């Protein structure tokens, strides 16, 4: 379906979204379109409302007051900072939960192989490392072939090396499955490494919407990478030497 601009209908369409807790307005009339297959990272200070926004997109905020138009695809998956696996189910049972048994087994094994966990199907979650558990959570999301993947600091609890490996994995998985992605992160380099577009949420609004045109693989020492990092850090209120905060 074409929109009035002649473009394809976006996967996510948000108009004038307001979300409040008691007297505090967290999202104050937010607009956003995310195109099919677009990878968007969302930055913002702690408490700026990133999770509130993600939960609204995920339809997980029924108890929260708010108004606005929110259109999202039916096939969406959510990944959180903790893997949230059921400890009394095996790895493959966690991945295929709610899927029809026969089709589920095959798809589940394939998804586990894609995240590098072939052969761990019958392990219990507590037999896996944090990074492995997070890979199971990714497999559980991808097995549903989501049109939209929502991820709230999915690598925030991992050590730096594991996090870098997870970036490579997520990049590969997204190139293969092409979901639209909204990745909430505190990590500016993570955002620049992965995203097509970076938003900064501040005082209820997106104050930055930056397209990232760096070629892959993205080199952290590239001067253009550093410029984008400085611009975003300034937007986040972190004073980078040599530049004044925005
Ligand atoms: N259930 C709730 N009840 C009351 N206030 C809430 C609730 N959930 C969030 N808030 C408030 O809304 C604001 C935004 O919270 P949110 O969790 O969206 O921030 P965030 O940007 O995800 O922060 P962080 O980076 O620390 O995860 C905060 O001030 C928070 O205290
Ligand atoms: Mg949060």
Q: Show the DSSP H helices in the chain as ranges.
A: 50-58, 91-96, 101-114, 130-142, 160-177, 188-194, 223-235
Cβ contacts of 99 within 8 Å, gap of 6 or more? 107, 108, 143, 144
Ligand that comes closest to the CA of residue 236? 1
Helical (H) or strand (E) element with 198: strand 197-202
Domain membership of residue 136 (yes or no) is no
State how far the Cα of 224 lies from the Cα of 57, in Å rounded to an integer.
32
Domain membership of residue 156 (yes or no) is no
Domain that holds residue 6: 1-75+187-246
Strands 12-21 and 24-34: antiparallel
CA of 99 to the centre of ligand 2 (A): 29
CA of 60 to the centre of ligand 1 (A): 14
Residue 117's pLDDT is what? 95
Pocket of ligand 1 (CB under 6 A): 21, 26, 44, 46-52
Domain membership of residue 176 (yes or no) is no
The ligand 1 atom at the shortest distance from the C-alpha of residue 44 is 21
Q: Which residues surround ligand 2, an ion (CB under 5 A)?
A: 51
Domain membership of residue 150 (yes or no) is no
Ligand 1 pocket test: pick from 18, 21, 81 the residue with the most ligand atoms within 8 Å of its Cβ: 21
Burial class (CB in 10 A: 0-12, 13-18, 19+), 11: buried
CA of 183 to the centre of ligand 1 (A): 17
CA of 47 to the centre of ligand 1 (A): 5
Residue 7's pLDDT is what? 61
Domain membership of residue 86 (yes or no) is no
Domain membership of residue 232 (yes or no) is yes
Task: Indicate the number of domains in the chain.
Answer: 1
Residue 245's pLDDT is what? 42
Residue 241's pLDDT is what? 67
Report yes or no on whether pTM surpasses 0.85. yes
Domain CATH for 211: 3.40.50.300
Residue 9's pLDDT is what? 85
- pLDDT 10s per residue in the chain (246 long)? 444 445 678 999 999 999 999 889 999 999 999 999 999 999 999 999 999 999 999 999 988 989 999 999 999 999 999 999 999 999 999 999 989 888 899 999 999 999 999 999 999 999 999 999 999 999 999 999 999 999 999 999 999 999 999 999 999 999 999 999 999 999 999 999 999 999 999 999 999 999 999 998 899 999 999 999 999 999 999 877 654 444
Domain membership of residue 234 (yes or no) is yes
Domain membership of residue 104 (yes or no) is no
Cβ contacts of 226 within 8 Å, gap of 6 or more? none
């Amino acid at each position: 379906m074409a929109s009035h601009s002649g473009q394809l209908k976006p996967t996510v369409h948000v108009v004038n979204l307001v979300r409040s807790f008691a007297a505090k307005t967290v999202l104050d009339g937010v607009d956003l379109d995310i195109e099919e297959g677009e990878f968007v990272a969302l930055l913002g200070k702690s408490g700026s409302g990133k999770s509130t926004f993600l939960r609204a997109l995920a339809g997980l905020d029924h108890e929260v007051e708010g108004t606005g138009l929110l259109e999202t695809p039916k096939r969406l998956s959510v990944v959180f900072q903790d893997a949230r696996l059921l400890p009394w189910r095996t790895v493959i049972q966690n991945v295929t939960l709610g899927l029809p048994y026969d089709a589920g087994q095959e798809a589940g094994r394939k998804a586990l192989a894609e995240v590098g966990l072939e052969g761990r199907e019958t392990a219990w979650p507590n037999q896996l490392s944090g990074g492995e558990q997070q890979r199971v959570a990714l497999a559980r999301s991808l097995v549903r072939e989501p049109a939209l993947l929502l991820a709230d600091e999915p690598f925030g609890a991992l050590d730096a090396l594991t996090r870098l490996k997870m970036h490579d994995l997520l990049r590969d998985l997204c190139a293969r499955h092409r979901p639209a992605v909204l990745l909430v992160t505190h990590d500016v380099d993570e955002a620049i490494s992965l995203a097509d577009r970076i938003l900064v949420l501040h005082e209820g609004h997106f104050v930055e919407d930056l397209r990232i045109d760096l070629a892959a693989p993205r080199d952290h020492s590239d001067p253009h990478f550093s410029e984008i990092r400085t611009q975003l850090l300034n937007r986040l209120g972190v004073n980078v030497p040599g530049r004044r905060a925005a």
